[in-house]
Amino acid sequence: MVHVERSPEMTVLLVGGDPAQLEGLAQSFAAVGYVPRVAESLHEARELAADSPPLLAVVEREFAADASGEALAIPLAPGGALVLFHGAANALAPISPTLQRSVMAELTLPLERNRLMALAQHVQERVRATGRGKRSTPPEQQAF
């Protein structure tokens, strides 16, 4: 995995019901330079994201299927993305068409962990390329 330089827009919000799986994902993201935050419910995720919107929200599919409106209400940083995940043995509950269109990817974890890291890096590069990240104006060019 490629280590990326830290910036304010590198926050990843992990939402799910399995604390061990979320901890593993958080460690993987932290190892490559992202700032992971963990929430055990969609309500808690919205509260965490309200203070500083994440670049990527990784939400357990079962949570999103049960409350698609709440999943879609998670604020994201400009250019950010919503990703759903589920376990390999889990039965997949149907999700609304609106949620399907809003999701960047749906992954089977832990099998597709490397793909998740690649998606996070892609989203970060997309934010930089499109100029949606936070801009830092040099002091000599700031208006007073």
Instruction: Report pLDDT digits (tens) over 30-53.
Output: 999 999 999 999 999 999 999 889
pLDDT of residue 8: 47
pLDDT of residue 141: 62
pLDDT of residue 2: 45
Class of domain 11-131: alpha beta
**Phi, psi (deg, nearest 5) at residue 132:** -90, -5
pLDDT of residue 4: 46
Distance from the Cα of residue 128 to its chain's centroid: 16
Residues lower than pLDDT 50 in the chain: 1-8
